Structure 1
Amino acid sequence: MNFWQKITGSDMTKEFKAFESRANKLPADYQTAWEKIKANLWPHADLTGRNLMPILDGVLGLLEEAAADGQRVHEVLGDDLKGFCSALAGEEGAITFRDKWRQQLNHTIAKKLGK
């Protein structure tokens, strides 16, 4: 990846398109689960989202293998999809970029107030 690709994110766009084409080949219930997984993982992304690329690739591989084996989505992912995604992104309560910004803002305000 060169500097221009890193700045513009064009490398990630190509990867996302590849992910979506792979996901479109899955059964409908797996596609629904894929959309929910993406929605639950984005809060754990860094500013660019690059940290999620290997995680998304691994999850999509898991879904492809499970679909090929004939398993149901519920058997693979379980009842707690949000917990599954939190476990993928790190551990429960992992700090997201929003949490970092909130901490930074609180620290700056406390500093200005002299505390």
Structure 2
Amino acid sequence: MTFLERVTGSDMTKAMKEFEARAQALPPEYQAAWEDITSNLWIDANFTGRSLMPIFESALELLEVTSADGHSVEEVLGDDIEGFCKSLVGEEGAKTYRDKWREQLNRNVAKKLGGLI
């Protein structure tokens, strides 16, 4: 990946287009699940969303393999797709802005109070 690709995010755009093309080859119920997964995962993205690329890859691969095996979406993901996505993000360690800001605030407060206690 070149510097220009990294700055502009063109590498991510290309990867997302490839993911979408692969998702179009899935059965309709899996396509709907993919839409739900992507919309739920983008909520937990960092500034660029680059940390989500391995998660998207893994989730799509899971859908591809299980659809080829003939399983239903409910068997694979359960009824709670949002919870499934939260568990994916938690395993990969992606954090939201809120989590990062909270950690920074806690560090700053602890540093300030450290001298007062």
**TM-score, normalised to structure 2's length?**
0.81
Residue 115 (structure 2) aligns with: none
TM-superposed CA distance for 1:101, in Å, is: 4.5
* Cα distance in structure 2, aligned partners of 1:100 and 1:34: 27
1:77-88 alignment to 2 at 5 Å? 77-88=77-88
Residue 13 (structure 1) aligns with: 13
Aligned residues of 1:44 and 1:96 also touching (Cα < 8 A): yes
Count matched residues.
107
1:54-93 alignment to 2 at 5 Å? 54-90=54-90
Residue 47 (structure 2) aligns with: 47
Aligned residues of 2:46 and 2:95 also touching (Cα < 8 A): no
- The RMSD of aligned alpha carbons is 2.1
* Cα distance in structure 1, aligned partners of 2:42 and 2:10: 18
* Cα distance in structure 2, aligned partners of 1:10 and 1:102: 30
Opposite residue 64 of structure 2, the aligned amino acid is E
Residue 22, structure 1, aligned to residue 53, structure 2 = no
Work out the percentage of aligned pairs sharing the same amino acid.
Answer: 60
Structure 1 residue ranges without an equivalent (≥5): none
SS in structure 2 at match of 1:79: coil
Which stretches of structure 1, 4 residues or longer, exceed 2 Å deviation after superposition? 98-105
Aligned residues of 2:44 and 2:89 also touching (Cα < 8 A): yes
